[in-house]
Amino acid sequence: MKAFKTMFLTELKLNIRDMNDLLFGVGFAVVLTLILGIVVGNKPAFAGADYSFMEQSFGALTSIGIAATGMMGLPIAVADYRHNKILKQLRVTPVSPALLLFVQFVVNFCMAILSLFMVYATSALLFGYRMPGSVFRFMLAYLLVLLSIYSIGMLIASVSPNMQTVNLLCCVVYFPMLLLSGATLPYEVMPALMQKASDFLPLTQGIKLLKGTSLGIPLDNIMLPVMVMIVLSVICIWLSVRFFRWE
């Protein structure tokens, strides 16, 4: 417990000092929320809809913080330690791969929660947003989506041999998900062909789950995203710990 506390506080300070998570995970999400609120405000999501475009988009906006911290912040931090031979030094200590990854998980989780809070505060205070669905179910869904996306980041961090590989994999995974999953461009306005392609992205399924719970859609309609998130999390976390590279 002492080792975790020491590592956590150190990593949290370094994360804040680095500013990447704050800029891309928090700042970008808030700016996009402001733009969306100014452009569409509380207009209906579509003709005859009983919820607004903002209510429909809230789940997607909260996923930006998850994607940025989980698929960029977490793997790059671990890769930087590997590149600078810090992991090689830690290998001879009692610190395990599971503890290293867990510390990075918690640090980036704090940034994601900050992003969620800021998106909600911006939506509620400036545009009158109120969640139609259950806050409890939404938070459970949020944690499940976060776990699944972070598991991908942990896998990239664990198996990548060098910094160049990590940067390449992060870009290949992060940017298509950010642009095509519905996090920035609403899924509902995509052409049918693009929707079918984006359905294969894990973050797309996560956003569907976040939208469903925030809007109060019956749970039987969101069981597929739930199963995808659970299976993905289990597989990626096991692979991350099993094939962790110290150097």
* pLDDT tens over the chain, length 247 residues: 777 788 788 888 878 887 878 888 889 999 999 998 888 877 877 766 677 888 888 999 999 999 999 988 888 888 888 877 877 777 767 777 778 888 888 999 999 999 999 999 999 999 888 898 889 999 999 999 999 999 998 889 888 888 888 888 888 888 888 888 888 877 877 888 888 888 888 888 888 889 888 988 876 667 777 888 889 899 998 998 888 887 7
CB-count exposure of residue 51 (10 Å: 0-12, 13-18, 19+): middle
Contacts of 139 (CB under 8 A, 6+ apart): none
Q: What is the pLDDT of residue 91?
A: 73
**Cα 6–chain centre separation:** 25
Three-class secondary structure of residue 14 per DSSP: helix
115-141-39 Cα angle (round to 5)? 50
Three-class secondary structure of residue 131 per DSSP: coil
Complete DSSP assignment for 63-101 = HHHHHHIIIIIHHHHHHHHHHTTHHHHHTTSS--HHHHH
Q: What is the pLDDT of residue 216?
A: 86
Q: What is the pLDDT of residue 182?
A: 82
Contacts of 122 (CB under 8 A, 6+ apart): 30, 33, 34, 37
Report the predicted TM-score, pTM, of the whole model to 2 decimal places. 0.89
Q: What is the pLDDT of residue 115?
A: 94
Range list of β-strands (E), 138-243: none
User: Which residues sit opposite 52 in a β-bridge?
Assistant: 44
Q: What is the pLDDT of residue 220?
A: 64
